[in-house]
Structure 1
């Protein structure tokens, strides 16, 4: 169990690094109004990634992200948000590399145990995002 929690913490740290690096990137926008807008859009997309269906998230990308700026940073942003969404919604298969790594720590990996690990990873990531966006978890109906 100790190794499993360490691995979940490692995944949390990767996502925290992503959030911090994107915030740093957007904070370098020269125009104050545009900087605030980009940070607000980022926080909104982060929160959306915790609960939306994948197609809803994709629609939001199309709606709020500038089409003319579809460079490396935007592609990276979208890919990471898709991954966060997959973990928070538990929509990835058992064959996803992160799940395979986490499940390797379970002695007898039953469907119930795997689901418990998925739920723990989802809750850990969701709580991190709530903290990073200053969103009270009770305010969104989270348990």
Structure 2
């Protein structure tokens, strides 16, 4: 808002200055001063109105995939070693299958699944997205 007031004051001063030069018949000097002032206002406005360059676009996240090795590891057992192997062999966000009828499957779902995403139970399998590794409480 302040820049608009400043430009209005400058335009008013220039118009009064031109009227003065018109009365004194010194148009050559008046036109040089008018264009110098106009260019000065133009460049000041152009410098004031510049914006920073936009940020580069972020790389798209890799799509999730089904981690088959997790099902094989969890089929063997459900201890801390198996859960650590799943975390090493699959990346966060991958879909894993946990056998619901296996001993410790509730423990595995609680430690491995990301509950901010869907958890689907299909027959004897529980499908969920792999979360970041969580410890016991």
Shorter chain as normaliser: what TM range?
Answer: under 0.3
Higher RCO (CA 8 Å, separation ≥ 6 residues): 1
Q: Which structure has greater strand proportion?
A: 2
TM-score (norm 2): 0.27
TM-score (norm 1): 0.26
Please identify the structure whose Cα radius of gyration is greater: 2
Q: Which structure has greater helix proportion?
A: 1
